A = this chain, B = another copy of it.
Amino acid sequence: MSTRERAMICEVGPRDGLQIAKTRMSTPDKLAWIEAIAAAGVGEIEIGSFVPPRVIPQMADTGEILAGSLRLLDRYPDLVVQTLIPNLRGAQAAYEGGAHRVSIPVSVSEGHSRSNLNRSVDEQIAEVERIIAWVRAQPRAMPVLAACSTAFGCSIDGVVRTEQVVRVAAGLAEAGADQVMLADTVGYAHPAQIKEVVRAVRAEIGDRLGGIHLHDTCGLGIANALAALEEGVRQFDSCIAGLGGCPYAPGASGNIVTEDLVFMLESMGFATGIDLAKLLEARAVLHAGLPAEPMHGQLPKAGIPRTFKAAA
């Protein structure tokens, strides 16, 4: 076991990356990719979302993907298999399918909430309460992450104030969420803002503040991850090859790139548990399954520098 401090990465590519990808990945290709991700040592994977297929057809096979991912536990017994759910119905499907953990998006900005979920912010917080009540009534434990979407700006409403984020985060903690995530859904954040919001939310909800979900839309994704790291955040969502992009910004990158993030964290002495060379193999598996999709990330193009030593 490493004596270095841990930093956890949840690979969200099979959900956030694929749901915006221009081309479709087949179910067997998705499962091969998820297996390669687990083989690289990634401990947590968001494998899909239980949303209506007419809304996001790329996620129509989430039930099958969940079942296949759970079969990987034979070889990777510590793997955490997570799905995104927008509502109670999704939570029930995730629970019945055996998901270890669910994440629920709750927009901080009203415009995004109405456009994305067709509900007000407070209605979605109330939905989170209902979901948690239902989950807690089941025989099996299934932790619930609630993510403050558009926490750093909104493509519809524009500026999102820190007080708005604190209010929503407090509401989600109050509703019983095991962890409250902060998500830069549209990729507008800058490092000083990351620090301000992390501090303000932690002052309100303490260690219920979980990880951070960043996009690289404007090129600041990894710098924002550094800012969060410096504020004590140790849990990051990211996506191999920064897959996905942004629906309103053609050519923009998607989530922060897992390969570059792992390189930064391990270089700085944090133990992610991830083998960078094997992570590049998982990138190749992704590319084989989605050959037309642009692949982001600098480290994979440059290769692992000779000075790199992974945290032992």
Contact = CB atoms under 8 A, between A and B. Distances in A.
A263 interface: yes
Contacts of A190: 263-264, 267-268
A252 B153 contact: no
Nearest to A159: B307
A9 to B, nearest CB: 15
A192 interface: yes
A220 B263 contact: yes
Contact of A223 (B226, B250, B269, B307): B226
In the complex, the count of this chain's copies comes to 2
Interface stretch (A41-49, A126-134, A167-175, A295-303): A295-303
Interface stretch (A23-31, A137-145, A211-219): A211-219
A110 to B, nearest CB: 16
Contacts of A253: 298, 301
A260 interface: yes
A181 to B, nearest CB: 21
A65 interface: no
A206 interface: no
Contacts of A187: 302, 305
Interface string A194-237: 00000000000000000000001111111101110010000000
A269 B216 CA distance: 20
A220 B305 contact: no
Interface in A277-304: 297-299, 301-303
Contact of A260 (B219, B230, B269, B299): B219
Interface string A244-283: 0010011111000101100110011100000000000000
Nearest to A187: B302
A263 B186 CA distance: 15
Contacts of A216: 298
Given A220-B260, A223-B264, A263-B220, A301 B252 contact: yes
A251 B301 contact: yes
12 contacts: A190-B263, A191-B226, A191-B264, A217-B305, A218-B298, A218-B302, A218-B305, A220-B298, A222-B223, A249-B303, A252-B302, A253-B301
Interface of A: 153, 155, 158-159, 186-188, 190-193, 216-223, 225-227, 230, 246, 249-253, 257, 259-260, 263-264, 267-269, 297-299, 301-303, 305-308
- 3 closest pairs, A vs B, by CB? A219-B260, A219-B298, A251-B301
